[in-house]
Structure formats: structure tokens, C-alpha cells
Amino acid sequence: MDSPIVAQLFRKLFLHRPRGCQGRPLSRMSALHRLGRHDPRPYSTRASRDRGMKTNESRWQQRTHIMPEDRRSEFADYPYVSVHDLKTRTQRPRKVKMLLRDFIDDSLYNPSYGYFSKQAVIFSPGEPFDFPSMRDELEFHAQLGRRYTEFEDELDDGEGENPTRQLWHTPTELFRPYYGEAIARYLVSNYRLTTYPYDDLLIFEMGAGRGTLMLNILDYIREVDPQVYARTKFNIIEISPSLAHLQNRHLLSTAESRGHADKVDIINKSIFEWDRYVPSPCFFLAMEVFDNFAHDGIRYDVSNEEPLQGHVLIDGDGDFYEFYVHELDPVAARFFRVRHAATAGHYPKPYPSNAALRYLSTRMPFAANLSDPEFIPTRLMQFFDVLEKYFPAHRLVTSDFHSLPQAVRGLNAPVVQTRYQRRMVPVTTPLVHQGYFDILFPTDFRITEAIYRAITGKLTRVMSHGDFLRRWAYVEDTQTRSGENPLLSHYKNASVMVTV
């Protein structure tokens, strides 16, 4: 059950919405309709009508496992919409159905109401932390907490109080400029070992946040290796118009940063809309972006291991219903083929691999006939397609989380959370009011590495976040007097993958 603070959050969010507009996400499914194996109708999970609930309880989180009225007729009648259709909408859709990955993509990136387009604010601590002067990590956390408070107090003074402000941070911001300098050392060293002096140092960064990593990299190269700096070109590919504007503003904010202006190109478009062929050798940075790539939801018929694909129905009241159908769309079907070929069939499954155990699991009292959900990274596969098609000579540098705490139920399941009154509030389903929740997935780097190699034909190396930084960062810059090093101890649940 979610925190009681969720009830306050949603009452605050939708205090002025008209009656009938309070959509409810689904909680975990406990039982499913038993349909025939070849029944063309979808399996469904349905939202509660809050039967037996007190009037002061949250109407957003299902409190019971009662299955209310059937919505399969609406699923048959409502039109399908895709992520491309949703991009032009300025209001959250109703009376439609869509793939789960399109629902997640719309929730995070819709230009009018998406999380990253309208809600997310990236924390900046101001001046870099003086780690050598700190006693230990506890002092670092104390200083970080104070700067968080000061940062948000300043936002409140300028914009007014906002209890639902979505504020988050990145290693680039927390460990500026040392983190960016480590990336720069990797880039310069590998550039000099491979294509220098025959090609320029061409860098692409996707999802650049405030543009801090770009500035830290360019500052370092300009100071340490002027010859390479003279041949450096930095390109940011940014889906969010507001973040693209912020990146350009930071680039022009000081005389020092303005010196990089002729080397930077900020391209405001989705990487999935990229259509320019880049034949030159280049480095492609994707730091903490895989976690926000949309995934498809899959459940398996436990009796025969057949996958069913998740769809989301949104009714006229804005309520969410989850349906699973036997027919896979072409993208999900291709993902299964690529994964199977790339891994020789060795990958985790959300159900017992032993046939006898599967049979016994279906005979348990109240047993569901579908497995727990698996979330497959179909958007990540499409990103690798873009690299292979338009950036054939690229070298990928990416970092992301290989595990996440407080994830929803399922294999490779996301963390779904929002921020209310300066506190993070996790919930138990990705079917949440679009734009107010961060939906972030862990990355299985063993599977990711295999799929990347299969699609691009390139070799890779995966290492822990700490191992990468021990090799490329000047770790003494971030070491406290006690010997503790926040740069190395933070993000222990992250890994780095690079093209070799």
C-alpha cells in the first residue's frame, strides 16, 4: 500500500478538476479472468470503484482486489492512438487505447503536459563542493541538504510555492566539474589513440539536462589540450524545448562559457526523429537516459509461455485500465527475436523455468493464469537502430542504473515516483496521471550489451560506475578528510558501458 501522503498529493493536484475527472491507476493485479488459450478477447485488469472505501480515503490507489464492471466492450470500440498521435495533443487523452510504451512515452515527453517537458526541475548546487575540506560523507550529505533547501527556497521566492515541484539531481551536477572532467579524459585519450589527427573530435550528447556536462568537458579540453580543443565539435540532441532553451542560456551566461559557442550545436528534437547521416567517427554520450526510455509491458500465459502485450485503455472519466492481448506489435515481436538471437535464449523470465513448477503454480488457490509483468526495453532497441543507421562510426559512452529500490512488481520493473512537499513519494503502478510522475527503469546491462552488439556489430565493455571513475577521475579531488569519497560511494547501483 502506498504512503498516505499520496492521498494528499492527488487531492491537491486535482482540487479544481471537474467531477468525474479523477482517473485512478491500477494497483498490482492479483487475479485475472480465465479466458481460453486462443480466445481473441484480451485479458484485462480493471480499476476499482472504491467499493467500501471511506470518503476521506484516496481514490487513486486500489484498496481491495474486487473486480468491477467489464470494460472489454470499450477496449473493442475505442480507437488506437500512437505516441506520434499523442505528440500533437495539448490535453491528456480520453476514450482511447494505446500500447503501454506509448502511454509511458506520452507521460514523460508530451510537449504540453509531459514530465520532462513541464514538471521536472534539475537541481544545481551552485559552487562546486569543496570535498577535501569536509570531515566525511555525513558532512557532504548535510551540505547537500542545505543547498537543496536553499535552491528550492529561491525557486519559491521567484515562482511561488509549488508543493508538486519535481526536483532531481544528476552526478554531473553533484560532482561538478570532476565528473565531467573524467568523461573528458576518457574522450580525449581515446580520440588521440584512434582517429587523431585524421578526424575532428565529434561529440553528441543526448538528454543533456542543464548542459553542465557539455561545459565541463569543453572547459577541460580547452585548458588541458588546446590542439584537440581546436578540432572539437559538441552537439546536444534534446527532446525538451524548455531544457534546450536552458542549455543555450547556460552556454551564453558567462564570458568563459560563451567562448565555446562556436563549437556547440543544440538540436531540439527527439533522437527517434533523427534523420541526418553522420559518417564521421564520433562519440555518443547517453548519461542516465536509458532509465527514462519507454518499455513495453509483457505478461506470459503460464500454461504455454506465450507472451501477451500490455495496452492501456483510458475511459471517458480518465480512468486507466490495463489489458493484455495475444498479438504482439511489430516492435515488441522484433525485440523478442533480437534478444533471443543475441543471448542464445539465455535471459531472465518472470515465471518458473521448470515446467512442473509452472504447472503447480497454476493449480494454487486463486492463482493467476498470467505471470507477473516483464518490462522489455523496446525503445532502447530502437535507439540502437538509430545509432546503427545514422551514426555508423559512433562510439557509445553510457551510464545508468542496473538496479533500483522500491520498484513496482515485475521483472525489470520501474520505479514510479513523484515529489510532494519536498518529499519523494513512490507508487505501485506506471498507470499514473500523465506528467506528474517520474517513471524510471533499471538497465540489465548483460542483455543490453548483447542487443547492442547484435544490432551495431560493435564490441563493448561494461564496468561499474566506481571502476570507471577510479580509472578516469582524479579521485583525490572528491575525497574527504576521513578517506571517504562520495564520488565513488554514490551511484553504486549504476554501471557504465562503452564501445571499444
Helix (H) or strand (E) holding 496: strand 494-499
> Which domain does 256 fall in, by range?
121-293+380-499
Strand, helix or coil for residue 153 = helix
Give the integer Cα–Cα distance in Å for 227 and 197. 10
> Is 5 within a domain?
no
pLDDT reading at 4 higher than 50: no
Q: What is the pLDDT, as a whole number, of residue 44? A: 56
Report the distance separating Cα 496 and Cα 402, nearest Å: 9
Phi, psi of 45 (to 5 degrees): -125, 145
pLDDT (tens digit, 9 = 90+) per residue, 407-428?
999 999 999 999 999 999 999 9
Q: Which residues contact 84 (CB under 8 A, 6 or more apart)?
A: none
Residue type, 335: F
Least confident range from 65-69, 72-76, 265-269, 431-435: namely 65-69
At CB < 8 A and 24+ separation, what contacts does 137-140 make? Answer: 137/480, 137/482, 137/484, 137/486, 137/489, 139/480, 140/480, 140/486
Asked if residues 404 and 440 have their Cβ atoms less than 8 Å apart, the reply is: yes
Cβ-proximal residues to 10 (8 Å cutoff; 6+ apart), any chain? 22, 58, 59, 60, 433
> Is 306 inside a domain boundary?
no
Whether 33 shows a pLDDT value over 80: the answer reads no
pLDDT of residue 63: 29
Contacts of 161 (CB under 8 A, 6+ apart): none
> Does residue 50 have a pLDDT over 50?
no
Distance, CA of 232 to CA of 208 (rounded, Å): 17
**Mean pLDDT throughout 221-241?**
97
Task: State how far the Cα of 306 lies from the Cα of 358, in Å rounded to an integer.
Answer: 13
Given a cut of 60, whether residue 303 has pLDDT beyond it is yes
CA atoms within 13 A on the CB side of 425: 23
Helix axes 212-224, 241-251, angle to 10 degrees: 30
- pLDDT mean over 381-410: 97
Is residue 196 pLDDT above 90, yes or no?
Answer: yes
Q: Which three three-digit cell numbers place residue 219?
A: 572547459
Give the separation between CA 496 and CA 500, rounded to whole angstroms.
Answer: 12
What's the CA gap between 112 and 432, in Å, rounded?
Answer: 17
Burial label, 424 (beta-carbon count in 10 A; 0-12, 13-18, 19+) = middle
Q: Cβ–Cβ contacts within 10 Å for residue 28, how many?
A: 14
- Which residue's C-alpha cell is 464492471? 69
**Rounded percentage of the chain residues whose pLDDT exceeds 90:** 77
**What is the rounded average pLDDT for all residues in the chain?**
87
In a domain, 79, yes or no: no
Residue 262 has pLDDT above 80, yes or no: yes
For the CA atoms of 220, 221, 225, 231, the dihedral, rounded to the nearest 10 degrees, stands at -170
| Residue 411 belongs to some domain of the structure | yes
Query: Residue 59: which of 107, 128, 8, 105 has the closest Cα?
Result: 8
Answer whether residue 286 shows pLDDT above 80: yes
Q: Which residue has the cell 573530435?
A: 201
Q: Tell me whether residue 106 is in a domain.
A: no
- Could you tell me the pLDDT band of residue 64, with boundaries at 50, 70 and 90? very low
| DSSP alpha helix (H) spans, 14-119 | 72-77, 83-86, 100-109
- Is there a domain that residue 49 lies in? no
Handedness of CA 474, 478, 484, 485 (dihedral sign): negative
Determine which of 8-17, 318-327, 346-355 has the lowest per-residue pLDDT on average.
8-17
Answer whether the bond into residue 365 is a cis peptide, omega within 30°.
Answer: no
Q: Give the pLDDT of residue 221.
A: 98
The whole-number average pLDDT for the span 446-469 is 98
Looking at the chain, the whole-number percentage of residues with pLDDT higher than 70 is 85
379 and 295 in contact (C-beta within 8 Å)? yes
Handedness of CA 132, 138, 142, 148 (dihedral sign): positive
Grid cell at residue 323: 489489458
In a domain, 333, yes or no: no
Per-residue confidence at 10, pLDDT binned at 50, 70, 90? low
**In Å, what is the CA distance from 207 to each residue of 30, 107, 236, 496?**
37, 17, 8, 16
As a whole number, mean pLDDT of residues 325-347 equals: 97
Least confident segment among 14-23, 144-153, 349-358, 471-480: 14-23
Amino acid of residue 259: G
Nearest to 40 by CA among 241, 308, 405, 225: 308
**Length of the chain counted residue by residue:** 500
Candidate from 174-188, 296-310, 348-362, 383-397 with smallest mean pLDDT:
348-362
Confidence at residue 48, expressed as pLDDT on a 0 to 100 scale: 35
Report the number of distinct structural domains present in the chain: 1
Q: Is residue 337 domain-resident?
A: no
C-alpha closest to that of 30 among 278, 365, 344: 365
Segment 358-371 mean pLDDT: 74
What CATH number is associated with residue 285? 3.40.50.12710
